[in-house]
């Protein structure tokens, strides 16, 4: 796996494929505007506090229902989003949409109960019991609401840092059950849907369309991939202290359509690993019958990778990620890797067309995973390879805009691919902007869970 491929051709740079992020966000906001328009059309004159509270409860309920569909759509791992926009950016959208959804849901519950209580002359507690027990579809909707709150609580940073990833992941999957349970009451009790067949059809189309995306891309596509390619572990070996490479063999892997810089979500069907699907980038260009990842032991899952044995079956989902040559806009590029962030950039270093320089940040020379391969690739293709290591007393190198310009004088004319720990990436991003690199030429993808 460490032997470089034939020298790549260096075609002139082309304009990067335009990201669909803007049009997609515009479509999402247009849908929200349509929901507000539906509410506005069906809302007559508002009388008294009960009317205002009930009206506010209706619109927050409609918007939370719409947000639930958007939330699930962002979980569907649609290739257009994962590969053209970037998995990390989609994950941030999903987290933000989740917060909006929970806030809208809380507002809906409080406002609608307060409005009904004011209308009936009951206390909010008595009204809540009556609504849950007497209204159609409300028992299921209540269960769905509780599940959504559980998902929201476990997704809070303070909570998530204290729970195992596996626990968070499986609780997060309850979002599907929550949305399914809550769907019925929207049509059964929603005044905006009663007698409005077009609105009902649009709501069904929205939810069934999102469900189809989830079934196709999260269930059927992975099943097809793994039945077709039948990946198994071929070898596991150490690259550096605490850093392991896993080579996997499969059938017709050239048909996967994977690009250097992309990643898969891997599930190794071995004890201690089969419950978790974890993203790891390919650390070498894909071959016809082999793929390789390189993993640093940072947690229970990555540490257990060392226990893998040849022949272990592998379940993979992907490829995902937008840190590829498709984002290139200039004839020259600078790759900056921090620690195990070298993995996707190792593949790009070998294959990215044009004038390429790689800057590798690590603590010591012993921590330079894949260092021998990088040296071979640099010599073979005539590329520059720079290291930023700690000093003899452990002092960190000063990666400022000035030091970056000194090392790479034409840095402002280059595309910059950046991969590493979140803190380092944020620090380097600010230094790159100060050094004159336009934001559109800084390409970064985070793999933090």
Domain check: are 234 and 219 in the same one?
no
In contact, 131 and 80? CB cutoff 8 Å: no
For the segment 237-256, what is each residue's pLDDT rounded down to a tens digit?
Answer: 888 888 889 999 999 998 89
Q: Is the pLDDT of residue 449 over 50?
A: no
Q: Are residues 371 and 314 in the same domain?
A: no
Say if residue 144 is in the same domain as residue 33.
yes
- Number of structural domains (the chain) is 3
Phi, psi dihedral angles at 34 (to 5 degrees): -65, -35
Q: How far apart are CA 56 and CA 39, in angstroms?
A: 10
Residue 301 — pLDDT band, cuts 50, 70, 90? low
Residues 365, 314 within the same domain: no
**CA atoms in the 13 A half-sphere facing the CB of 52:** 3
Element (H, E) at 268: strand 263-268
Q: For residue range 1-26, what is the model confidence (pLDDT) as tens digits? A: 444 433 333 334 444 567 788 899 99
154 contact partners, CB below 8 Å, separation of at least 6: 160, 163, 167, 168, 171, 172
pLDDT score recorded for residue 28: 94
pLDDT of 167 reads 84
Task: Tell whether 91 and 204 lie within a shared domain.
Answer: yes
The CB-side HSE value for 4 (13 A sphere, CA atoms) comes to: 21
Q: Are residues 169 and 72 in the same domain?
A: yes
Do 348 and 431 reside in the same domain of the chain? yes
At 210-219, the pLDDT tens digits run 999 999 999 9
Q: What is the CATH number of the domain that holds 255?
A: 2.40.30.10
**Which residues form the domain of 252?**
230-320
Domain's final residue, options 225, 258, 278: 225
pLDDT for 241: 82
The more confident residue out of 234 and 327 is 234
Q: What is the pLDDT of residues 362-418, one digit of tens each?
A: 888 888 888 889 999 999 899 999 998 887 777 788 889 999 999 999 999 999 999
Q: Final residue of a domain: which of 225, 259, 290? A: 225
The arithmetic mean of pLDDT across residues 142-171, rounded, is 87
Q: What is the pTM of this model?
A: 0.84
C-alpha triplet 444, 448, 449: angle, nearest 5°: 140
Q: What is the mean pLDDT of the chain?
A: 88
């Amino acid at each position: 796996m460490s032997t470089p491929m034939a020298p790549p051709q260096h075609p002139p740079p082309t304009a990067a494929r335009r990201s669909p992020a803007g049009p997609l966000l515009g479509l999402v906001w247009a849908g929200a505007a349509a929901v507000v328009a539906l509410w506005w059309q069906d809302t007559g004159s508002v009388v008294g506090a009960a009317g205002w509270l009930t009206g506010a409860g209706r619109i927050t309920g409609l918007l939370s229902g719409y947000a639930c569909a958007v939330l699930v759509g962002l979980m569907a791992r649609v290739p257009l989003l994962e590969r053209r926009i970037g998995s990390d950016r989609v994950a941030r959208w999903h987290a933000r949409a989740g917060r909006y959804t929970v806030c809208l849901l809380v507002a809906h519950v409080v406002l609608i109960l307060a409005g009904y209580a004011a209308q009936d002359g009951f206390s909010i507690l008595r009204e809540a019991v009556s609504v849950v027990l007497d209204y159609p579809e409300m028992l299921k909707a209540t269960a769905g609401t509780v599940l959504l709150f559980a998902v929201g609580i476990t997704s809070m940073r303070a909570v998530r840092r204290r729970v195992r990833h596996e626990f968070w992941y499986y609780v997060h999957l309850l979002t599907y059950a929550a949305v399914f349970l809550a769907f019925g009451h929207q049509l059964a009790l929603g005044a905006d849907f009663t007698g409005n067949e077009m609105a009902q059809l649009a709501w069904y189309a929205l939810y069934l369309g999102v469900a189809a995306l989830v079934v196709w891309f999260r269930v059927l596509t992975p099943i097809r991939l793994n039945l077709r390619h039948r990946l198994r572990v071929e070898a596991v070996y150490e690259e550096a202290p605490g850093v392991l490479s896993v080579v996997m063999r499969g059938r017709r892997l050239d048909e996967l359509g994977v690009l250097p810089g992309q990643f898969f979500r891997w599930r190794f069907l071995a004890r201690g690993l089969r419950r978790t699907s974890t993203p790891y980038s390919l650390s070498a260009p894909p071959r016809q019958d082999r793929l390789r990842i390189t993993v640093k032991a940072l947690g229970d899952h990555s540490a257990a990778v060392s226990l893998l044995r040849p022949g272990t079956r592998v379940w993979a989902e992907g490829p995902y990620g937008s840190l590829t040559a498709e984002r290139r806009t200039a004839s020259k590029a600078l790759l900056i890797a921090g620690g195990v962030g070298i993995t996707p950039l190792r593949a790009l270093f070998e294959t990215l067309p044009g004038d390429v320089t790689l800057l590798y940040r690590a603590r010591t020379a012993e921590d330079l995973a894949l260092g021998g391969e990088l040296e071979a690739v640099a010599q073979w293709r005539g590329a520059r390879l720079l290291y930023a290591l700690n000093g003899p007393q452990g002092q960190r190198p000063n990666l400022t805009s000035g030091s970056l310009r000194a090392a790479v004088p034409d840095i402002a004319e280059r595309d910059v691919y950046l991969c590493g720990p979140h803190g380092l990436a944020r620090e380097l991003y600010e230094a790159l902007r100060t050094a004159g690199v336009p934001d559109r030429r800084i390409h970064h993808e985070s793999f933090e869970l």
